[in-house]
Amino acid sequence: MFASLVRPLSKGSQITKVLVTSNNVAKFSTSGVLRKDYHDILIESHGKVGLITLNRPKALNALSSHLFHEINSALEKYDEDPNISTIVITGNERAFAAGADIKEMVGKSFADVYKTAFLGHWGKINDIRKPVIAAVNGFALGGGCELAMSCDIIYAGEKAVFGQPEIKLGIIPGAGGTQRLVRAIGKSKAMEIVLSGRNFTAKEAEQWGLVSKVLPVDKVLDEAIKLGQEIASLSQPSIQAAKESINRAFELSLKEGCHFERKLFYSLFALKDKEEGIDAFVKKRDPKWTDE
């Protein structure tokens, strides 16, 4: 038996009908076309922006292996979809994601986690070519903070709370927390946060450079989608090249990074969009991008 509801979307978005079965499995149809079944996420499109909403409200969106596999599946499908140019990941007002699902760690030995590469699949988001924006409200702790930091841009609600409290469980972050946090806010602040396990506010996250913008709670998702639409309106090969170049800055020396950047810069001269952009600028008109 199915119950149905329609999530209201912004202007220019496709309406996604959510069909909920008696065993709480959600199925999604956009414009009447049935899409892939998901249990723990909602997916919908806003023009060229693909939206992934974490949907384990009773568990404060704790990131179980199953949930993360669904996130990866949706990300990969959006990355291959020619009608989608940017992706937004969000939760709800109480929690973006309150952390990894601790129940999955109970009773696990070193051999268990090592042989199965526990949390290894969390790194697949790094392979997504299109820009990914995190719209964070509520708790973004542990794995939730790591997921947000794995995105390219973070917008946060004014009541959002970030943190890497793993040390209080006798472990450390295991999905990039120590590595991304120090790159975002510096060694001293990262040491303070990780070694104490204390949380920090959205305002602090913005001051330290972790978050791009802090917004009223009810504006975060709309503004993230608006930014996604703005990015989606530009030349997509250039956008993806810019993302790749920025990410390489964390891996290369300044000299090597500038050399990599220049090679990508040269390569864009082969695009029709480069000619269109230059011509539009000279003639003072709006460019018409073809993504070619």
Under 8 Å between Cβ of 156 and 220: yes
Catalytic residue among 166, 202, 206, 242: 166
Angle (deg, nearest 10), helices 254-267 and 236-248: 170
Asked if 104 is an active-site residue, the reply is no
Catalytic residue among 47, 91, 143, 277: 143
Asked if 244 is an active-site residue, the reply is no
Among residues 176, 165, 196, which one has the least CA distance to residue 125? 176
At a CB cut-off of 8 Å and minimum separation 6, what does 112 contact? 118
Q: How many other C-beta atoms can be found within 10 angstroms of the C-beta atom of residue 236? A: 22
DSSP state at residue 210 = S
Asked if 76 is an active-site residue, the reply is no
Alpha helices by DSSP H, listed for the chain, are: 65-80, 110-115, 143-150, 177-185, 187-196, 202-208, 220-232, 236-248, 254-267, 272-282
Taking the C-alpha atoms of residue 119 and residue 111, their distance in angstroms, rounded to an integer, is 14
DSSP state at residue 108 = -
Residue 35 phi/psi, 5-degree rounding, is: -105, 180
Catalytic residue among 146, 177, 232, 241: 146
DSSP state at residue 286 = -
Residues classed as catalytic:
100, 143, 146, 166
